[in-house]
Amino acid sequence: MNRRGFTILETVSSLLIIGILVNIAIPNYIKAKKSAEAANIIQEMDIIKKAVLMYYSDNNEWPPDTWWGVIPKELKPYLPNSIDFDKNPVLDVKYSLDNYIGNTDFQKKYGLFDVAVSVHSTDAALINSLKNISTGNLISSKGFFNNKRLYLIIKSVEN
């Protein structure tokens, strides 16, 4: 028998196998990508923490509190140019420097820390990756999650 091409059954079978492989590969790819993004965020938080500590060492005071996505102008000389507090639109991530020294209302209400760097995201998969990566990391002993935010404590109330 001399035939040309593939039968419809062979074509459908091949497409079915390819579809199954794609359904396995894509979620794993997305999970790996979110894990890599989360690892990068934790690394950047550590860089910001070190910059804040250098600023404190030089000035004997903590940098001022800022809103999400805004780098304190006093801290810019201590940070590498690659650090940006607002990752939008590339990544749904914003950093904030939280300085509650002297804010007695906050301390009475929460009493958790004086100075921290925090990250906020509405990307649920990214938040889950941050939670998974930060468990067993320095973040877990020096930080905490609150809603969609991860806090890395620089100066706790006890210090």
Dump pLDDT digits (tens) for 82-132. Answer: 888 888 777 889 998 888 766 666 555 555 677 888 888 888 888 888 887
The identity of residue 80, as a single letter, is P
With b for 16 or more beta-carbon neighbours within 10 A and e for fewer, the 3-35 pattern comes to eeeeeeeeeeeeeeeeeeeeeeeeeeeeeeebb
The identity of residue 64, as a single letter, is P
Q: List pLDDT tens digits, range 118-135.
A: 888 888 888 888 887 766
Tokens 């100066």 identify what position?
A: 155
Tokens 């889950």 identify what position?
A: 128
| pLDDT given for residue 143 in this prediction | 64
Q: Could you give the 3-state DSSP secondary structure of residue 123?
A: coil
pTM over 0.85: no
